[in-house]
Structure 1
Amino acid sequence: MNYPSPQPAPARPFLSQALPYILMLLVGYLAAVWYGQWKANQLHDPDAEPRPVTQRGDLAEDEKSTIELFRTNAPSVVYIRTSQIEFDRFSLDATEMNPGHGSGFVWDRDGHIVTNDHVIASADVARVSLSEQSVWDAKIVGRAPGKDLAVLKIMAPAEKLEPIMIGQSNDLVVGQKVFAIGNPFGLDQTLTTGVISALDREIRTSENTSAVAAIRTIDGVIQTDAAINPGNSGGPLLDSAGRLIGVNTAIYSPSGAYAGIGFAIPVDTVNRIVPELIRHGKIIRPSIGIVPFQDRFTPNLTGVLVRDVLPNSPAQQAGIQPTRSLLASQGRRVRTLVRYGDLIVSANDQPIDDLNDWLTFLESQKAGNTINLTIIRNLRRNDEETITLPLTLVPSP
């Protein structure tokens, strides 16, 4: 018997094959949407209201004092912006470059502003912003690089200027509260608080002028843990009475930002130097009429070596000897020999170990004072001798 060959079943349409899967995906999607809405309803409360405010009592007394101190002294603190002028070599157009900033404070109603010397040292242009945001062009009145102090002047009307109250630093004690107001990182009118951490610190600076070049130290520096950051330089350090006790000048930090150690120039130094800068534009030291060597040229000597003696000066009249170069012939060869001048080793029984000691001593004296100067003559020769001479100080040339 012959049976027919089996025939393949006819192919089902694609849609009929995919339909069950599409339905499953649709059901899953709807379930996910429903679950999400259900979850959202569990997270959000449409009846949520602001919480009632808990009333507080009066501010603590120390908070009131801090607030009042800031309100009183903030108008005395200024924001200083600096820049350098660069000229295009072809068009000669001037452009302000390398912007910098720092802090300062109002010294008097004549428009004198005190800041750090390093804030304005390289500036061609300086502008001062007062607390009420008015901006004034500033001119440099005087600089004292060896003390890191400078005085600017703005032509603001007296009624806009609030001079800071001046305190004293010779009676400060470790542990008393201090307050710093300044412009760290350009954030103006910033208050930070702390205590005096230590007293009588020294910080090094440099003095490079037409008259002298020396590494200087600033004595009696105040150490504080009040936050002092870049931009605070030149701002005031205040005591709890709101009086100026120091000028913030430096921090100790490997990173360059606040690390808990800041330094301020004591106000007793500031109150002595600033009037001189206003009167003369520089520190006026009395003189004996010598030109000393810089310390870097005399690294193996303890004292100040006299390079030259000015004519008709007290030093010349007292017979102070300058350093001289001598030519000595040895057969056909000619050698240059250096004959050391006098080496200053003490003044009024105060040791003079380097140029900084000598300049600091002179800054403590006045023209007309007679001093006893101890020198070593004929240095490193067989006839070396120590001599003490009286000299009368005269105004610097």
Structure 2
Amino acid sequence: MSPLRSVRPYAALLATAVLGGAVAVGGVALLGGLDGDTTVVTETVPSQSTASVPRESAMSINEIYERAAPGVVQITSTSNGQTSVNPSSDPVPQVPAQALGSGFVVDKAGHIVTNYHVVQGADEIRVSFSNRDTVEAELVGTDPSTDLAVLQVDESASALTPLPLGDSAKVEVGDQVIAIGNPFGLDRTATAGIVSALQRLIRAPNQFTIDHVIQTDAPINHGNSGGPLLNTRGQVIGVNTQIETGGADTGNVGIGFAVPSNTVKDVVAQILGTGRVDHAYLGIRGQEVDSDLAETYNLPVKAGILIESVATGSGAARAGLEGGKTQVVVAGETYTLGGDIIVAVDGTQIGSIEELRDAIAAHKPGDKISLEIYRDAKKTSVSVTLGRQPASPQG
């Protein structure tokens, strides 16, 4: 897996987070509301919504571009570097480095959404609009856990064209989409494709997991990071964030990933409200129980979350939740047995990591939740006060 962002002296490096190899398919994922490595199988889940875009309301690619392109910006972030001091010589200043990415305007107050990794560590951020105006931007807030950041420019900027955020819960596999961004510095380039899959998991810059991610075959390359993925109504349904490379090659291979717009809405609202984003945190590593595991080891349930380990000092630890101690291999998968099994949160049955993740994400740090668990084959309830997600996974 390649680094999310790198820089080169005196060069504008086109920033798109790149992954090498398979992404969260039957492997290990880091789940922000839980903790650490958690075995999950990522599947394409059909949307539950039937509210697809009527044919008569769909716009052409040209119409979408004409409306949306003015709201897409090019972002240049500059890191000045630190002065290197050698005891046997004079101080040697480090050369500046730049990263180039994309973003889009979300309101007339001058707020702009982009990726966290585009502006990470920047000492100066400049935004270029479609009318060629270039202005300095202020970093309002960031959320490394979702790879999102909010900037602000002077609201008097003449080129402020806000793009509407759509409902990513209504996105369906096969929907037509268009990506607009600045691949390789080619400003406001449009590419088109379809939604290839839903409910993907990708790794955030802080090594937690971003969930509900949209996969698309619309060509996305370096420099597209932070740009919008739009539906045929011209609404932003995702923020283009990462590409799959399949190996050493870092170019487009038809697999791109976008953070869903509903996640963007929540993150932007928190940043504009408080200047920060707080994610509720349970503090466990867990694995999904399936029928094979349950039958082989005579577990009390055939579905639930088997706790592997509990993070020190977390809400789960304070509530007395217990992790496992004995490792076993079933159908090629390694499990840690002997820990508590979570089967419900606040009375709602939990059968998958995603369901537990969503249940935690619906809360704020400090909220209390009730977990139904099995311990030593006996069912009991445990009250847990959720903590605040740490800077990186523990363990």
Same fold by TM-score greater than 0.5? yes
Q: Which residue of 1 aligns with 2:102?
A: 103
Alpha-carbon deviations, 1:64-113, whole Å to 9, x = none? 83222211111100001112112445788976622110000001111111
1:221 maps to 2:216: no
Q: Distance in 2 between matches of 1:64 and 1:369?
A: 43
Over 3 Å counting, the alpha-carbon distance change for 1:251 and 1:315 in structure 2 is: closer
Number of the residue aligned with 2:174: 175
RMSD (Å) for aligned C-alpha atoms? 3.8
Cα distance in 2, alignment partners of residues 103 and 77 from structure 1: 7
User: Contact 1:223–1:263 (CA<8 Å) still a contact in 2?
Assistant: yes
Using the alignment, how far apart are the partners of 1:196 and 1:293 within structure 2?
32
SS in 1 for 2:193: strand
1:281-306: CA deviations, max 9, x gaps? Answer: 32223578xxx5899xxxxx934514
Does the 8 A contact of 1:102 with 1:183 survive in 2? yes
Matching residue's letter, 1:173 = E
Deviations 1:127-182 (A, max 9, x none): 11111111121222111111111111122415431110221111222222111110
- Structure-2 separation of matches of 1:115 and 1:127: 12
Instruction: Quote the offset at 1:366 in angstroms.
Output: 4.0
Deviation at 1:384, TM superposition (A): 11
Long gaps (5+) in structure 1: 1-60, 208-214, 296-300, 324-341, 378-382
Partner residue in 2 for 1:238: 230
In the TM superposition, residue 205 of structure 1 has moved relative to its aligned partner by: 2.1
Q: Which moved more, 1:251-260 or 1:230-239?
A: 251-260
Deviation at 1:245, TM superposition (A): 0.9
Residue 87 and residue 117 in structure 1: after superposition, are their counterparts in 2 closer, same or farther (change >3 A)?
Answer: closer
Q: Secondary structure at the match of 1:74?
A: helix
Q: Distance in 2 between matches of 1:116 and 1:280?
A: 19
- Kindly state the Cα deviation for residue 346 of structure 1 after the two structures are TM-superposed: 6.1
Q: Secondary structure at the match of 2:363?
A: coil
- Give how far 1:353 is off: 9.2
In structure 1, the residue matched to 2:370 is 372
SS in structure 2 opposite 1:389? strand
- Closer/same/farther in 2, CA of residues 302 and 155 from structure 1, 3 Å limit: same
Structure 1 residue 226: deviation in Å?
0.9
Cα distance in 1, alignment partners of residues 83 and 367 from structure 2: 52
CA spacing shift, 1:193–1:62, aligned 2, 3 Å? farther
Identify the residue that residue 77 of structure 1 maps to in structure 2: 72
Taking a change above 3 Å as real, the CA distance of residues 95 and 162 of structure 1, as seen in their structure-2 partners, is farther
> For 2:209, what is the secondary structure of its paired residue?
strand
Q: Structure 1's 264 and 293: CA in aligned 2 closer, same or farther, altered over 3 A?
A: closer
On the 8 A contact 1:304/1:358 being kept in 2, the answer is: no
**What letter matches 1:362 in structure 2?**
I
Q: How far is 1:252 from its partner?
A: 1.0
Alpha-carbon spacing, 1:92–1:384, altered in 2? closer, same or farther (3 Å): farther
C-alpha contact 2:58 2:232 (8 A) present in aligned 1: no
Following the alignment from structure 1 to structure 2, what is the Cα–Cα distance between the partners of residues 234 and 252?
16
What is the distance in 2 between the residues matched to 1:169 and 1:192?
A: 19
Q: For the structure 1 residues 79 and 224, does the alpha-carbon distance in structure 2 shift closer, same or farther, using more than 3 Å as the test?
A: same
Q: Secondary structure in 2 aligned to 1:272?
A: helix
Counterpart CA distance in 2 for 1:127 and 1:79 is 8
TM-fit CA distance, 1:363: 2.3
**Cα distance 1:275–1:69, how it changes in 2: closer, same or farther (>3 A)?**
same
The one-letter code of the counterpart of 2:313 is D
Aligned length: 293
Relative contact order higher in (CA < 8 Å, ≥ 6 apart): 2
- Give runs of aligned pairs for residues 24-39 of structure 1, distance below 5 A: none
Q: Give the distance between the partners of 2:57 and 2:379, measured in 1 at CA.
A: 60
Task: Give % identity.
Answer: 39
- Residues in 2 aligned to 1:260 and 1:205: alpha-carbon distance in whole angstroms: 21
Matched residue SS, 1:203? strand
Is the 8 Å Cα contact of residues 372 and 389 (structure 1) preserved in structure 2? yes
1:264 aligns with 2:258: yes
* Residue of 346, 361, 364 corresponding to 1:363: 361
Equivalent runs, 1:190-205 vs 2, <5 Å: 190-205=189-204
Distance (Å, rounded) in 2 between the aligned partners of 1:63 and 1:353:
35
Residue 302 (structure 2) pairs with residue 307 (structure 1): no
Which residue of structure 1 aligns with residue 301 of structure 2? none
**3-state DSSP class of the match of 2:80?**
strand
Q: TM-score, normalised by structure 2?
A: 0.63
Cα deviation, residue 374, structure 1: 5.2
Query: For residue 153 of structure 1, what is the amino acid of its counterpart?
Result: Q
Alpha-carbon shift at residue 280 of structure 1 (Å): 2.1
CA deviation after TM superposition for structure 1 residue 193, in Å: 1.0
The yes-or-no answer on 1:388 pairing with 2:386 is: no
**Shift in Å, 1:352:** 10
Contact 2:84 2:94 in 1 (8 A): no
Q: TM-score, normalised by structure 1?
A: 0.62
